[in-house]
Amino acid sequence: MRIWDLKPSQLCAKHLAAEHRELHAIWSVLTQNKNGYAKHPETLRWKNKLAALYQRHEQLVREFKKRDWKHYSPLNKKLARGKIIQDYLLDSIDKQKKILKNKPCACLLS
């Protein structure tokens, strides 16, 4: 489970779609008090930062549109409370780029 701290345009189709799916999972856990992944480090870093998570979702949606992808799963903006900026990273930007460079995909090529 990962929400990248890179520009969505740097993600390949596989990682962009996966992040979007995982973002929705984290949103559900945090807004509906679900137990699944509630203690996962990625979920915990977004606790009290739903406004920032909402902003990340909107960035992903803009990238979907640039790629002519359809989007059918908006988030409820009324639930986007807390900090608007994510200021805590599980891995540095450089480490995230290194992780992606070691994957057999087209991430970071744009």
Note the pLDDT tens digit of each residue in 10-36: 999 999 999 999 999 999 999 999 998
Number of domains forming the structure of the chain: 1
Decide if 18 is inside a domain.
Answer: yes
pLDDT given for residue 110 in this prediction: 58
- 106 lies in a domain? no
Asked if residue 89 lies in contact with residue 5, where contact means CB atoms within 8 angstroms, the answer is: yes
Residue 1 within a domain: no
pLDDT at 1 over 90: no
Domain span at residue 56 reads 8-101
Residue 93 has pLDDT above 90, yes or no: yes
Query: pLDDT tens digit string along 43-82?
Result: 999 999 999 999 999 999 999 999 999 999 999 999 999 9
